[in-house]
Amino acid sequence: MPRTTKLDAPVMLDEDVIEGRYVELDGYTVAYETHRADFDPAPLFEGLPSDRCQCPHWGIVVKGKIVFRYADFEETFEAGDAYYGAPDHLPLLFAGSEIIEFSPSVELQQTMAVVGQNLEALQAGAPH
């Protein structure tokens, strides 16, 4: 049976606002994320349908909280909560929060391709 731990997962993001460790397990990406600063990543999702994340996520808030914003409501998940983030959401991230999240790898990669392009454009100072 596939398995991983946070220590087994390689650091793939090491930025001012986030440390992300990611492992592929049988078609799903397991993410161990530590959020270092409050961050609203909404601009990074521009270009996706509805300018929102289209990948579903299942997760556990280990520490802190995460918010998923939808067109007409939002959900807040705090330490100890298991959650489901349906497609068509925007996350809102908070300093000191830690999550373990499971996402279908194909949908996540499609989303992250757009996020990556937008991040590069923002870092270069170009409009996205």
Does the pLDDT of residue 126 top 80, yes or no?
no
> Sheet containing 90-93: which strands, arranged edge to edge?
74-78, 65-69, 90-93
Rounded to whole angstroms, how far apart are CA atoms 86 and 68? Answer: 9
Rounded to whole angstroms, how far apart are CA atoms 119 and 80? Answer: 31
Domains parsed from the chain with CATH numbers: 11-124 (2.60.120.10)
Instruction: Say what the pLDDT of residue 40 is.
Output: 96
Q: Is 125 left (phi over 0), alpha (psi -120 to 50) or beta?
A: left
**What DSSP state is assigned to residue 70?**
-
Question: Where does the pLDDT of residue 112 fall: very low under 50, low under 70, confident under 90, or very high at 90 and above?
Answer: very high
Does the pLDDT of residue 117 top 90, yes or no?
yes
Query: What is 82-118 written as a DSSP string?
Result: EEEE-SSBEEEE-TT-EEEEEEEHHHHHHHHHHHHHH
